[in-house]
Structure 1
Amino acid sequence: MPKSVRVLIIDDSASVRQTMTAVLESDPDIRVIGVASDPFVAARRIQEEVPDVITLDVEMPRMDGITFLRKLMAQRPVPVVMCSSLTVEGSETLMQALEAGAVDIIVKPKIGAADHLAESALRICDVVKAAAQARVGGRRPRAGMGSGADDGKKLTADAVLPPPTGRAMAKTTEMVVCVGASTGGTEALKDFLVTLPANAPGIVIVQHMPEKFTTAFARRLDGLCEVTVKEAENGDPVLRGHVLIAPGDRHIMLERQGARYHVSVKTGPLVSRHRPSVDVLFRSAARSAGGNAVGVIMTGMGDDGARGMLEMKQAGAFTIAQDEASCVVFGMPKEAIARGGVDRISPLDQIARDVLWAANR
């Protein structure tokens, strides 16, 4: 039996600490070993027992979360998940947290409609378990947790759109690149995109991230890259030199009209436990682009994208998985490889080169 993931919750709100404890301990694979109202209390707790994962509020008295995160990463690296309210203003700060070494972002749970709270709890628990597997500051990933691929309750992409017709589409001159990533993906995507030239093929990305934060993420990347990066809107065209990032809490699908591609952005059920789902994007690419597509699957826990990548390959696309050594969490690429959906396994620093080669082959 795998050991439970031990979590320390740091938040100045007693009600948030209580709610987070209840949410996390609803998962039998997670155990809350302590709570702290500020980083100074947390530091004493960590001296007593080092947790597998820390959930960390951004704004706290005496020391803010970002400052504590930087000190922690320098002295005793532990996977940290930032916990924030759902605000556009806060999302800019959280981008700094990801740069400083945070593994992922979750939104503080709010009591509301039962289905919304259930989805929120599902994401929080999944992110914490993924963080326990993360490589942080040379730390070895925690052993014992599965990929989540055997959860029979998960909806597949069938819940959003039908499977590809089965016949590969003939190649045309325009190529489109579809990318999926989760835990560790924000920094991996940055490393990938900053190396692309301004005339790179059009790219559509699913990064598992809460709503509102994808806006700040896209803006941050746009300021770093030669390609133009934006959060996708329904009907946006897929153009050379442009990158579209799926908005948090919305599925994104590639659609074709004549020789041109555009995206459809819409809500829907969680697919492979996610919204947006990589499986949904990849299946839509298999249906609409076939051999005109390149698929890339990057770091992340679970199996979202594994089915869709196999469908892309079967439809004639060239598919690439990030290698284990460069992944923060190897779950998603590992599942795609295991299903036979991957043509090439590449380290992160070679994925851009391989994408350009595949798009021009």
Structure 2
Amino acid sequence: MLARDPGIDVVGTAADPLIAREKIQRLRPDVLTLDIEMPRMSGLEFLEQLMRMRPMPVVMVSTLTERGAAATLQALSLGAVDVVAKPKASVAAEFERSAADIVARVKHAARARIRPAVRGEPTPPVSVLPARTPVIPSGPSAVRPMPATAAEGDAHLIALGASAGGTEALRVVLQGLPAHAPAVVLAQHLPANFSAAFAERLDRHSAMHVREARDGEDILPGHAYIPPGGRHLAVVRHGRGWRCAVEDGPPVNRHKPAVDVLFHSVARHAGARAIGALLTGMGDDGARGLLAMRVAGARTLVQDEATSVVWGMPGAAMRLGAAADALPLDGIASRLLELSRPHASVA
């Protein structure tokens, strides 16, 4: 399926990691697609060695199982760029849809900024989505954000969005927030079966309680909510606070969950009481939603290009004028807390 695309040259294949190691040294590919379960050495062990000795863009090809999800999230923590679901060759239509998905991700991965795993990051033992080219309809001069006030109360809602590289970026941000932080709602592009494992992983690394959202539940401070697998997450106003709305609508920007669905709902129902941050990711999902949040009076920011694995989504947001600030990843949590304080200054 990769070789059929005129923009990709498949320079080699390998039946196991030891063969792959020799071919990588000799053929010097731009991107590697990597299965987790292979003979002679696991894909995770090979990936860890590869990222230490010769960091390069790697797209994981994973089974949509609980075991596959846990292993793939570990691979992303080791430095893999993205993940695609292993296609079912027995279903022709699904195989063709998977082909387009994998081709798109491999092409995007070739432009990724590779960041090996952070030293000291715990990796628990274990026994990839399409993106659109950013379309920028107008310059930031057309944007006139409403004044940010907290007239409806001091409680804030933090909304986060991410795609490629986002599993680790979100971990870093949530790890930097205290147990009493404002409520967080987030959307990350992942295969549907991965959401439970992702929520559990984030919960282990955060003082906040991280969980899959349930439709209609109250959004509480000190809690972070992610969409359940293959569903959109939105927020709705409830009294002086908010509730989760889990929706089974069509994909938006070819994604489900989509960051734009979340951000547009936050703009409508939280307005100036919201803070939005768009992190590393391919394409432009979330850029227009972040713009809507800023126009509604929310404080908004993006992850900077230097620390993003892929500066697609945050770059598109900056070009739209959706955010005034682009911050390094390790400075985002503290900035979110600063903006959530009453009477925080806004540029």
TM-score, normalization: structure 1?
Answer: 0.82
Give the alignment partner of residue 275 of structure 1, picking from 256, 259, 277. Answer: 256
The alignment status of 1:346 with 2:331, answered yes or no, reads no
Where does residue 282 of structure 2 map in the other structure?
Answer: 301
Of 11, 32, 37, the residue aligned with 1:54 is 32
Aligned equivalents of 2:225 and 2:103: distance in 1? Answer: 28
Q: State how far apart, in whole Å, the 2-side matches of 1:118 and 1:173 are.
A: 50
State the match for 2:19 in structure 1. Answer: 41
Letter in 2 for 1:257: H
Give the residue type in structure 2 aligned to 1:336: A
Shift of 1:112: 6.9
2:5 maps to 1:31:
no
- Secondary structure of the equivalent of 2:306? helix
Please report the RMSD computed on the Cα atoms of aligned residues, expressed in angstroms: 2.4
In structure 1, the residue matched to 2:133 is 148
Correspondence 1:94 to 2:75:
no
1:158-184 Cα deviation digits (max 9, x unpaired): xxxxxxxx9999542221111001111
Query: What residue number does 2:310 align with?
Result: 329
Q: How far apart are the structure 1 equivalents of 2:5 and 2:135?
A: 16
User: Any unmatched runs of 5+ in structure 1?
Assistant: 1-21, 139-145, 153-165
- Displacement of 1:62 in angstroms is 0.8
Match of 2:53 in 1: 75
User: In the TM superposition, what is the alpha-carbon distance from 1:59 to its structure 2 partner?
Assistant: 0.7
CA deviation digits over 1:310-354, x for unaligned, max 9? Answer: 111111111011111111111111100000110322111111111
CA change 1:307–1:238 in 2 (3 A) is same
Q: How does 1:104-183 map to 2 (within 5 A)?
A: 104-111=82-89, 116-117=94-95, 119-137=97-115, 148-150=133-135, 171-183=152-164
Bigger RCO of structures 1 and 2 (CA < 8 A, at least 6 apart) = 2
Residue identity in the other structure for 1:149: P
Rounded Cα–Cα distance in structure 1 between residues aligned with 2:162 and 2:287: 11
Give the Cα–Cα distance (whole angstroms) in 2 for the partners of residues 29 and 150 of structure 1.
21
Note the C-alpha offset of 1:306: 0.8
The correspondence for 2:63, drawn from 82, 85, 90, is 85
Partner residue in 2 for 1:141? none
Give the TM-score of the pair, scaled to structure 2. Answer: 0.85
Larger mean Cα displacement after TM superposition, 314-323 or 122-131: 122-131
Q: Deviations over 1:204-239 (max 9, x none)?
A: 111111112121111011112110111222223211
Which one-letter code corresponds to 1:294 in the other structure? I
Contact 2:132 2:253 in 1 (8 A): no
Picking from 205, 208, 231, the partner of 1:227 is 208
Counterparts of residues 199-218 of structure 1 (less than 5 Å): 199-218=180-199
Please give the secondary structure, in 2, of the residue aligned with 1:136.
coil
Question: Is the Cα–Cα contact under 8 Å of residues 208 and 248 in structure 1 kept in the other structure?
Answer: no
Q: Distance in 1 between matches of 2:250 and 2:156?
A: 29
Shift in alpha-carbon separation, 1:252–1:126, aligned structure 2, 3 A: farther
Are the aligned partners of 1:298 and 1:332 in contact in 2 as well (CA < 8 Å)? yes
Which amino acid in 2 is paired with 1:206?
A
Q: 1:275 to 1:27 in 2, by over 3 A?
A: farther
Deviation of 1:74 after TM superposition, in Å, equals 1.6
SS of the aligned residue for 2:13 comes to strand
Per the TM alignment, residue 45 of structure 1 is displaced from its structure 2 partner at its CA by 2.0
The structure-2 alpha-carbon separation of the partners of 1:254 and 1:71, relative to structure 1 and needing over 3 Å to count, comes to: same
Deviations 1:40-71 (CA, angstroms, capped at 9, x unpaired): 22123213311111111111111110111111
Alignment partner for residue 241 of structure 2, among 260, 275, 278? Answer: 260
**How many angstroms apart in 1 are the aligned matches of 2:226 and 2:72?**
17
> Deviation of residue 357 (structure 1)?
1.5
Percent same amino acid among aligned pairs?
48
Against the structure 1 CA distance between its residues 61 and 124, is the aligned structure 2 distance closer, same or farther, given a 3 Å change threshold?
same
Which residue is 2:172 aligned to? 191
Give per-residue Cα distances to partners, 1:246-279, cap 9 Å, x unaligned.
Answer: 2342111111122221111222222112111111
